[in-house]
Amino acid sequence: GNSVTQMEGPVTLSEEAFLTINCTYTATGYPSLFWYVQYPGEGLQLLLKATKADDKGSNKGFEATYRKETTSFHLEKGSVQVSDSAVYFCALKGAGTALIFGKGTTLSVSS
């Protein structure tokens, strides 16, 4: 079945550091891929998405590219801020199936 694996956290960075959170997936067909972010005490917010191979999703300085050859959708940001501290979830959705999440990666950014 479909599954998502993302790097274990927590990830601790200083402000303005480069961020990468790895995400790989297993899926049949051509799923859509997503990154969601969850701030403390809140629900999930869509950060970015990609619907087909080689698509690049981007939002608020975050980027991720749908790589079918490596079945990956790694999240990157060139310069993190304290306000980026949150839990990040990689997810995939195949046609007619439920959204499947990775276990989440906690990011902590200090000034």
Task: Tell whether residue 20 is a contact of another protein (CB under 8 A).
Answer: no
CA dihedral of 93, 64, 46, 25, whole degrees rounded to 10 = 30
Task: Tell whether residue 67 is a contact of another protein (CB under 8 A).
Answer: no
Question: Do residues 20 and 44 lie in contact, with contact meaning Cβ atoms separated by under 8 Å?
Answer: no
Task: Tell whether residue 89 is a contact of another protein (CB under 8 A).
Answer: yes
Task: Tell whether residue 101 is a contact of another protein (CB under 8 A).
Answer: yes
Task: Tell whether residue 2 is a contact of another protein (CB under 8 A).
Answer: no
Burial of 98 (0-12, 13-18, 19+ CB in 10 A): exposed
Give the residues lining the site for another protein (CB under 8 A). 31-32, 34, 36, 42-46, 49, 51, 89, 93-104
